[in-house]
Amino acid sequence: MVLELKPRIEQAFAGVKVVTLYGGDEQRWERGDITIATTHQLMRFREAFDLVIVDEIDAFPYHNNPPLQYAVSQTCTTQGAYILLSATPPEKLQAGSQERTAGSCPSAGEIPPTPAARTPVYQNGASAANI
């Protein structure tokens, strides 16, 4: 996943240095404007990032792994923020969402299709595009 994200992030944020951190990666000692890492690689950092986004918190290796969860919780600066992503957040996290800001977005199957664009045609033959 780390390697799949890098070209997409580089395209979206042109001119920004993107570093990838995963087991055996050659960039493991480099610093970047954006760092994409496995959760295990985050164990090497303390208060190093302004924003930490963790995807699939309901899956291995993050789910039910208190040492890894603790290590990740130490990676953000004191003024930083965490975004935890999950299609199926654990009940414990859902229960604690009253204390935190929680949000949701529709899944791909719940998003209504985009309506087809139409150009209205008026009685005299003029259209909105010509007016």
Q: What is the pLDDT of residues 25-77, one digit of tens each?
A: 776 677 888 888 888 888 888 998 888 888 888 888 888 888 888 988 898 89
pLDDT bin (cut points 50, 70, 90) of residue 128 is very low
Report the pLDDT value the prediction gives residue 43, as an integer from 0 to 100.
85
- pTM value surpassing 0.75: no
111: pLDDT strictly greater than 80: no
**Contacts for 54-59: CB closer than 8 Å, 24+ residues apart:** 54/82, 54/83, 54/84, 54/85, 55/1, 55/85, 56/85, 56/86, 57/84, 57/85, 57/86, 57/89, 57/90, 57/93, 58/86, 58/87, 58/88, 58/89, 58/90
Report the pLDDT value the prediction gives residue 99, as an integer from 0 to 100.
53
